[in-house]
Amino acid sequence: MSSTDTSADKYAAVREDIVKVFPKEDYDDGSFAPVVLRLAWHASGTYDKNKKDGGSDGATMRFKAEAEDGANAGLEVARQVLEPIKAKHAWITYADLWTLAGCVAIEHMGGPHIEWTGGRKDKNSEADCPPIGRLPDGALGKDHVLDVFVSRLGFTVQETVALIGAHTVGRCHADRSGFDGPWTETPTRFSNQFYKQLLHNTWVEKKWDGPRQFVDEDGDLMMLPTDMALLEEPFRPYVELYAKDKQKFFDDFAAAFLKLIELGVQKRGKL
C-alpha cells in the first residue's frame, strides 16, 4: 500500500482477501464463512450495557481466558483462518478484522450488506477479558434469551429475533458446543430459512446422550432450546414476520448486527 491509498481502498483490499479464504471443501459444508460470522458475533456479544464493558473493541478473545470459554469452542478455526490476512495487512487491528470478516461473510453467503466502520483498537492484557458466561447458552429458554439480549445487551425483542436468525447458516458440533447438526438445509446460504423451518417443521426432543436439543422428523436438522423459545411470546410474531418477508429480515438483521458489533465502540464516521 502506498501512502496515497485511502482508508476505503485499504479496507477494500482486506475484504478481497477475506473472501478468498472462505472456500474450504473439506471443512463442514465447504466454507469457513459461517464460523467467521460466529467469531464476529461472539467477539461482540460479551458487552454489558450496565457495566459498559466487553464487546468487540479490544479483540480480547486473543487471550486464554476468553478463548477457552466453552461458548467459544471451535472459534480458533476462524481466528487461524484470518491470521494470514492480519499478517499481510499488519495495520488493521484484530478487533476490526474479526468484525469486518463477519460482515463480509454475511454478504458472501447472500445476506445483506452491513455498513461496517473501522477504528476499533486491540487491548493487550488478559485482564481486559470480560467475565466468562456472558454469551447466550443454547440449552436455556425464554427468560435467558430476554436476560441476555434485552436486559444486558440492550436489544429490543424484534432485534433479538433478527439476530438469532443468523442460525440460518452454520451448524453445531458435538465436540465443541455439545449440540450437533445444522439448523437449515442450506447452511452456507444466508436466508430466512431458519424462521420457515422453525415454524413449519415438527420438532421433537432428540434421544441421545448429548444436551437437550430438538430435531425434525427426519433427524437431519436441529434446533436449540433457545431457538424453540422463539415460538413463544413475545418473540413469535417476529418469527412469523421474517418467515414471510425475507427482505424485512435482511433489513432488520443488517441494522441489528451493525448495532451488535458497535456495542461499546466509540462512534466514527463511515468509511
Cβ–Cβ under 8 Å, residues 105 and 36: yes
The active-site residue, picked from 41, 42, 108, 116, is 42
Cβ–Cβ under 8 Å, residues 18 and 100: yes
The active-site residue, picked from 41, 98, 183, 203, is 183
d(CA 126, CA 145): 28
Is 144 noted as a catalytic residue in this protein? Answer: no
- Of the candidates 204, 215, 265, the one whose C-alpha atom is nearest the C-alpha of residue 57 is 265
Cβ–Cβ under 8 Å, residues 242 and 192: yes
- Three-class secondary structure of residue 115 per DSSP: coil
For the chain, the helix, strand and coil percentages under 3-state DSSP, each to the nearest 5: 50, 5, 45
d(CA 142, CA 252): 21
Q: Left, alpha or beta for 31 (phi > 0: left; psi -120 to 50: alpha)? A: beta
Is 183 noted as a catalytic residue in this protein? Answer: yes
Residues noted as catalytic? 42, 183
